[in-house]
Every structure is written in structure tokens, then in C-alpha cells.
Structure 1
């Protein structure tokens, strides 16, 4: 009852985001999607090329049928059907519901979706929102006032998080580079140099003792 009373007094706080707008303004996501589009176009061109070859083989067979035996015609038709099935299977593998394109899209979207969800959670807790909807999802929004749109705030939160990660990665890369530039220690050479220094020091001590004895003798 107390919880209901508090909600009634302050009113329900509602906001919404536009995930499509956020994704369009995340450079890393757009770059990755551009690379994926290039890859998809390459697959399409490859498939289209194979289908064109198959169409040409069908045309050639049609023109040559009068010169071929029924056995040869059947054999070539089987070969053409086999090649066609192979390329259609390949097309399904690349562009089907569970194909490479869909899998890679999900892999690209998952990290940014996690960032959006984390930013929304933080804002909901810090600003006491009761509901935050996604305008680009299946939720039907017949009207939405712009003052309730927090997409830019979520985008800024993601950008700050991305900059922090890039700064950390940059620092790690710099540390790795500095580590690579540390000169290697030649233990054998170091041992020789240390022995030489000890020898020089020992000879110096002997020399000083001799000089001291000679000096004492002269004084005597």
C-alpha cells in the first residue's frame, strides 16, 4: 500500500529510446556493418555468377540436343541439376535464416545491444524511471512526445564507455610497445663484465697496499 501511495504521489515516470537511431550513430557498429555488407555483396556476386554459368549450360544443352544421344542428354542434365543444387545449398548457407549473414549480424549487434541495455538500466535506476520502451521494437506507440526520448542520453553514455575502453586499450598497447623496446640482457656478457670489474678492483687494492708499504719504508 505504501509503494502504491508513493507512485500515486509522484506519478509514473516513462521514457523511450530509438535503438535504430542509436545504432546509426555508433561509428564502430556502422563500420562493422559496412564490412559485412561488402562481404554479403561478394557472396551475392559469387552466387549470381554460378547461376549464370548454370543457365548457360542449360542453353548449350538445349542447342546441342539434336546432336546428342538420350544417354548423354540425361547425363548432362543430371550434372547441371547437381551443380544447381550445390549453389542453392550454398545460397542457403550464406543467406538462410540460420546462415552466415544472420549469425554475423547477431554477433555484431550483441555487444552494442548489451551496452544499450546497461545504459538504460543505469538511467532507469538513477532517474527513477518506471518504464523505458524501445520505439523501434514491436511496441505500438501511437504517439510519443520528444521530451520523453532519452536516445541521445543513452548514445552519450555508450560513447563515453567506448572512449574509456579505447583509452585502456591504447594504454595497454603503449605498455606492450614499451615492453618490446626493452633491450635484451646478455647474461654471459654481463658475467664477463662483472668479473672484469672485480679483477680491476682487486688489482687496485693490491696496488694501493704496495704503495702503502713503499711509503712506510721510505718514511722508516
Structure 2
């Protein structure tokens, strides 16, 4: 199956080459299992993990044997036990069985210790392999490199064949087209669809520059507005303080006049 998938990918890549007529696509592949088998550090760590796995298996089997022994003893003694004791023993057995199953899951389940440690064991070697593959692919001008031991294990691809951005643009355009109503909007979208990724990038760059200038203008206008508001507030405050002083002075003079009149009336009387 793996060889068939690899063959299909190779044929597809060669077909792409004949269609584009740009250059012959160069392929390479690795055998990750062979590489791992010949890395001494990996083999030693793998042996240590295998020993640990055997210990886990022995522990899991011991737990399940204990549960089975408890069930057998209960079956043999059931006729001699009261209903309450039977229920108590059955509850204990159910608990021990649940613990045994949880132990197996924690050790060998999808997120168990074995899977986690296996990934940790392989990851450093994979990092070295990926780094070496990239260097070799660049030196030999390879366009794609696959792992023949994986179902679809492409581990290197020349960026010129990356159409992710084009796919993303197509998805967005399809979504936009569904929202359009007028003919003008549809024509505008069709013009956009004819643009290349590079043209879109240039337009986006110009739009960002225009937006940046607009933001700068708005910031300048806002700063000027704040300056005018500040001056206006200062003038208003100055006016109110001056008005308060004038009113206070009037009140003082008014009080002085009233006091003089009162003093004069007292003198006459």
C-alpha cells in the first residue's frame, strides 16, 4: 500500500512536470525505519523503552490476574456469604477491575506513556533527519522528498510548489461571490480573480501604505484638535477666573459702600 501511494505521488509529480513544461521535477525518498535501525543512540533508548514496556505489561497482567482470582473466590464462596457481603465483594472487584483497566489505558492508550515516550524517543532523530533532508534536497536540487515507510510521508517540498495561498484565495473568493448581488460587484470580483498572488501582494502593500498614511493624517488631525481644545479650555478657564475676580471685586466694593452708609447713619442718629 505504501509503495503504491508513493508510486502514485511520483507519477502525479511527473505529470505535473509535463504539463508545466518548466523543468523536470526531481524526487527523492528516505526509509525512516532503516535510518532508525542504524542510529546507535536510538537503538539503545529503544531497548530501554522496550524493557519498560515489558514491566508495564507484567504489572497490567498481574492486576487483571488479581481481579480474576477475586472473581473465582467469590464464585466459590457465594453460597456461604450473605447478600450484604456478596455486594461488598462485588463492589471491591468492580473497583479493582476499573483500576486495572485505567492502568492499561494510562500505559498503552492513545495518550498513554508508551506513545508519549515513543514520540519523545523518535523526535530528536526526526529533527536530524529533516535537517539533513533539507540540506541534501537543496544541494541536489530535489523538489520533493518522501518517506517510503509512511502512507503519505512528504517531508520536504520546494516552496515554489506551495499553492496554499492560492487555495486560500479561492476559498475566500467563493465566499465573496456568494455574497455579491450587483453586476458591478461581480465584475470587480472577476478582475480580482484574474490577479496573481504577486499582484495581490502588491495591491495589499499599496493599500497598507495608504492606510498607514491615512492613519498618520488622522493622528495629526486628532493631535491638532486636542491642541485647539486645550487652548479653548485654557481660555475658558482664564475667562471664568477673570469674571470671578471682577464679581468678587464688585461684591467687595458693594460691601464697603454699605458699611460706609451704615456708619454714616449711626453718626447722624
TM range (shorter): 0.5 to 0.7
For the pair 1:91 / 2:67, whether they are aligned, the reply is: no
2:122 aligned partner: 109
1:127 aligned partner: 140
TM (norm. structure 1) is 0.59
- Find the aligned partners of 2:60 and 2:79 in 1 and give their Cα distance: 31
1:141-160 Cα offsets, whole Å, 9 max, x none, are xxxxxxxxxxxxxxxxxxxx
1:162 aligned partner: none
- Find the aligned partners of 2:97 and 2:77 in 1 and give their Cα distance: 20
Alignment partner of 1:12: what SS? coil
Report which structure shows greater RCO (CA 8 Å, sep ≥6).
Answer: 1
1:9 is displaced (CA, Å) by 7.1
User: Which structure 1 residue ranges, 5 or more long, are not aligned?
Assistant: 141-220
1:127-147 Cα offsets, whole Å, 9 max, x none, are 11111111111139xxxxxxx
For the pair 1:57 / 2:70, whether they are aligned, the reply is: yes
For the pair 1:136 / 2:149, whether they are aligned, the reply is: yes
Alignment partner of 1:129: what SS? coil
For the pair 1:69 / 2:88, whether they are aligned, the reply is: no
Alignment partner of 2:28: what SS? strand
1:11 is displaced (CA, Å) by 2.4
- Find the aligned partners of 2:107 and 2:26 in 1 and give their Cα distance: 44
Count the aligned residue pairs. 136
- Find the aligned partners of 1:58 and 1:9 in 2 and give their Cα distance: 73
- Going from structure 1 to structure 2, the CA distance change for 1:63 and 1:14 (only over 3 Å counts) comes to same
User: Which structure 2 residue ranges, 5 or more long, are not aligned?
Assistant: 1-16, 154-269
- Find the aligned partners of 2:84 and 2:52 in 1 and give their Cα distance: 41
1:11 aligned partner: 24
2:161 aligned partner: none
1:8 is displaced (CA, Å) by 4.8
Look at both structures and tell me which one has the larger radius of gyration over its CA atoms.
2
- Find the aligned partners of 2:34 and 2:56 in 1 and give their Cα distance: 28
- Find the aligned partners of 1:43 and 1:92 in 2 and give their Cα distance: 11
For the pair 1:23 / 2:36, whether they are aligned, the reply is: yes
Alignment partner of 2:146: what SS? strand
1:12 is displaced (CA, Å) by 2.1
Compute the RMSD of aligned alpha carbons: 2.0
1:10 is displaced (CA, Å) by 5.7
1:162-202 Cα offsets, whole Å, 9 max, x none, are xxxxxxxxxxxxxxxxxxxxxxxxxxxxxxxxxxxxxxxxx
